[in-house]
Amino acid sequence: MRIHRLEIEAFGPFAEPQVIDFDQLGAQGLFLLNGATGAGKTSILDAVCFALYGSVPGARQDGKRLRSDHAAPAAEPRVVCEFSARGRRFEVSRSPAWERPSKRGRNGTTTQQAKTLLREWVSGEWQEKTSRNDEAGAELADVLGMDREQFTRVVMLPQGDFAAFLRSKAADRLDLLQKLFGTQRFEAVERQVARQAAEASGAVEDNAAELKMLLDRAAAEQEHLGGEHAPFDPAAGEPEAWLASVEAAVTAEEDRCRTAARAAETHAAGLSAKLQEDQDKARRHARLAAAMQRRVLFELAAPQALEDRERLDAHRRAAVLKGQLDAVDAAALKVRSAVARKDHAASQLTESGHAGPEAKAALETVKAAVAVLEASLPDEQRLEAIARRMADLHKERAASEAAVESAAATLVQLRAEGDALDAEITSLEPLAARQPDLDREAGAAAAAVDVVARHAVAAREADQATSRCSRARTIWQDLRQAWLDLREERLANAAGELAAALVDGEPCGVCGSSEHPHPARAARTALSLAQEEAEAREAFEASEKEFDQLSTEQAAAGQALAALAAQGGDADPLVAKERLEEARLAASQALAAVKKLEGLRVSKDKLTARVTLLQEEHDASLSSEAQASSALRLLAEQHQELETELAGLRQEHPSLRHRLDILLRQSEVLQAYVAADDDARLALQMEADAHSALERALPDAGFTSADAARKQLLPASDVVGLETAVADFDTEGARLEELFAAEELVLAAKEAALGELPVPEPELAAAGEEVSRATRTATSLAVAAGVARKAVTALARIRKDYTDLNAAGKEPRERARILSGLAETLRGAGDNKYKMSLNTYVLAARLEQVALAASERLVAMSDGRYTLQHTDARAARGAKSGLGLEVVDEWTGHRRDTSTLSGGESFMASLSLALGLADVVQHEAGGVDIETLFVDEGFGSLDEQALEQVMDALEGLRNGGRVVGLVSHVAEMKQRIGSQLHVVKGRNGSTVRMAEAVPL
């Protein structure tokens, strides 16, 4: 990763926009970043970190005061960093959240949210990647391959931190190494194994709890049966043996309960059989008494039953004649109805002009005429349809003729419009074809006007810069001459200063003579001259700086003016504007022609479509007219033929339907009279037949007349009541005979005759209570036996479950033992003699790599004397080990603690450690190529030789195109490093300035 350019505005101490070109600054591979304390050297590093990660390192992030207090209230804090990584070039712009003045309020502020813009240089231009903070962060993290912590430790090497890291205890190095190498996953492994060990131990405890629960259940089963067996005591023996003894005791109890239950059940069965016999005898005698009472009631109801039977018999004989009686009544009713209908039909027939005797002949004649007319009705309907169709065809032919004339006239008009459109399109096409070229000419003319305007501004700025530079040169020369004059005067006054110090008889400090014949006189005091000279020199140096800056501005203004002149900026502005107006007018006319041509072509297409459609409609109308004329001729011939055929059938009636309706009404009147006459004759015949059948049936039924038979007929409800009463009487007699013939009543009658009476009710009740007591006793004993049986079954199941569960718990107990030991080892306890956790073990391996990488540079810095070495020696008093560092003195071969190094040696060791750690972390970050490094303060503790060796080592970092920036106040380094970036502190904020130092 290489940084190319950094822009800072309203950020940290920088109020005004500052631009740092790292490509120019690091052209020699090594540059120095210096400035007064508090000027903002570290803020430049903060700006780089903020641009890449959206935050600054360390404690400065907590303050969240990123915006410059020197900036104008409306100035937006902004950092832009251009860098390249993994063969790609990016530009990231970030602005932190800040309080800007409200546009609506007078004194209020509004929070402006943080903004980010990420762009990539692709195919010669910047292409925007994203403007979302989270998406830009993810993209940059992927490109850089490091998080913020790794970046600030690898790219910006903080010497103070690594000096403390070098001298710290092994346990104190854990936090930094863990952040850099991201070994949290190994701590996660430790926690996972510990969690698995806890889960395995929990499973073992659950298994033990389940085993104990089974033992408790076995004890509860025994106690439930009334046993006195105590719960299981682990000191008494194995649980399996205890379960077997409990099961044997419960089995014996079950056998005892089952024997007692059988005896009680037999006794209760005997008592129950005797009670059942006595109860059966009592029921037999009770039923005999009830049967005797029913027979007495039956004999009392016999006279009423005989009377009901006789009434029912007379009704049934009369009911035999009911059909003949109903037939006579119905025949008389039909005769009256038929005679009335015949009289009504005769009156209607007289009104229609017909006589009764000739009704049948007239009916046949009318039916024949109706048949002929009904057969001819379809022909009349067809004649009407032909007439309607002819009327429709006349209308269609007239409409087609009108459509043909209208379409022909419209076609002539549309074709004329099409010719006019073709002429207008042809006239516009040449101008429209030039529209792209005219647009380009207008754009070129506008660019030329802009260049001319910019050239005029640049010319004024160049003149102003030249004027300012000329004035500054004059002031610089005057101040330089004044300073040289004062220095010459001070040198000339030196003799007088020496003479003033001469003492008679003492040797001169210059010539050694003890005689001073002509001592010079000093015009002014040396102190005042020296002070004036210093003030003049300071004024001269300030003017020199201002002159250098103005010279740079003059050169830049001249270059800008020359570039604009090369682009044609020195042309006449009026001519350029006239050309622009002409080009824009021509372009607008061409654009109007293009738009109008598009509209004309669309209109032409629509007109062509209308002509085509209208021609099709004209042809269709001609065809419709011809078809209508042909159809009319054919239908006229058919209409004439049908009209001739139907004229004779109408007989002066308007239509066949009208004549047919009249004939149908005559047919209905004739048909009604003929039918009524036939019905009257049939009704009279049926009445005579009914009277004759009734007279023949009366003697057989035992009646002399029809009235006598009608008197014996009863209502249906009375018949049902008599039949029910007679049936109930007969049924009761049959049931009594069956009841007294039953074996149970016969036995009861014999017992009563012999004097064997049933047991009294109180004695039966007492016997029932005795049977209940015996039954409850037997049930209780049976339940006890069942409970004992269930207890035996439950204990057998408990013992089997205990055996299976105990066997199943062997593997979890072994797994818990193994996981517990592994967890203890991973967290540095148990048999781990070095007290090293897994995380510490991994970091120890990384620290060993860091020590090897650091030693390569420390050997060069210390002239081959010192190397760093990782040690995993056990710490005192049982403390955790594994992250120890010691320095090896190759001159003596002794090892010693890093705290014994001197100040300069500690700086070299900590710098080597930081560089080695950067190399290892860079490798761990996926091989990211770090082409820009910053090394912080700490060089002041080195002597001249050590500084030389350290500089040689740092210059070695430039190999492969790497750029190294050093942050230092050491004066010698300012002379050694040519490329420098000065941070100048001022009351209105800091500024940066690049300079080339002249090596001594």
The residues near 834 (Cβ < 8 Å, ≥ 6 apart) are: 828, 872, 874, 881, 882
* CA distances for 172 relative to 152, 153, 631, 882, 884, angstroms: 19, 17, 116, 12, 10
The residues near 256 (Cβ < 8 Å, ≥ 6 apart) are: none
Q: Taking residues 265-273, what's their average pLDDT?
A: 81
143 vs 928: CA distance, rounded Å: 9
Percent of the chain at pLDDT exceeding 70 = 82
Per-residue pLDDT for 640 more than 90? Answer: no
* CA distances for 245 relative to 210, 227, 232, 794, angstroms: 20, 12, 11, 14
User: Side chain identity at 595, as an amino acid letter?
Assistant: K
Cα 681 from chain centroid (whole Å): 98
**The predicted structure's pLDDT at residue 90:** 94
Per-residue pLDDT for 122 more than 80? Answer: yes
Summarised one tens digit per residue, pLDDT across range 795-848 is: 788 778 878 877 887 888 788 788 787 777 777 776 666 677 777 787 778 878
**The predicted structure's pLDDT at residue 82:** 95
Give burial (CB, 10 Å; 0-12/13-18/19+) of 634: exposed
| Token pair listed for 562 | 């020359």
979-984 and 30-35 strand pairing? parallel
Summarised one tens digit per residue, pLDDT across range 608-621 is: 888 888 888 878 87
3-class SS letters over 447-507: HHHHHHHHHHHHHHHHHHHHHHHHHHHHHHHHHHHHHHHHHHHHHHCHHHHHHHCCCCCCC
**The predicted structure's pLDDT at residue 5:** 93
- The number of C-alpha atoms within 13 Å of 584 and in the hemisphere containing its C-beta is 10
Q: Taking residues 716-734, what's their average pLDDT?
A: 79
933 vs 953: CA distance, rounded Å: 14
**The predicted structure's pLDDT at residue 118:** 93
Average pLDDT, the chain: 77
Farthest-apart Cα atoms in the chain, separation = 213
Per-residue pLDDT for 913 more than 80? Answer: no
Per-residue pLDDT for 662 more than 80? Answer: no
Name which of 433, 428, 447, 455 is nearest 584 in CA terms. 447
243 vs 229: CA distance, rounded Å: 11
- The number of C-alpha atoms within 13 Å of 730 and in the hemisphere containing its C-beta is 9
Confidence band, pLDDT 50/70/90 cuts, at residue 525: low
What is this structure's pTM?
0.40
Q: Contact at 8 Å (CB) between 835 and 884?
A: no
Summarised one tens digit per residue, pLDDT across range 455-466 is: 888 888 888 888
Give burial (CB, 10 Å; 0-12/13-18/19+) of 487: middle
Confidence band, pLDDT 50/70/90 cuts, at residue 397: confident
Confidence band, pLDDT 50/70/90 cuts, at residue 116: very high
Summarised one tens digit per residue, pLDDT across range 453-507 is: 888 888 888 888 888 888 888 898 888 888 877 777 776 666 666 666 677 777 7
* CA distances for 207 relative to 11, 203, 481, angstroms: 66, 6, 103
What DSSP state is assigned to residue 102? P
Summarised one tens digit per residue, pLDDT across range 187-245 is: 778 788 888 888 888 887 887 787 778 777 777 776 666 655 556 666 656 777 777 77
Summarised one tens digit per residue, pLDDT across range 576-593 is: 888 888 888 888 888 888
278 vs 270: CA distance, rounded Å: 13
Per-residue pLDDT for 607 more than 50? Answer: yes
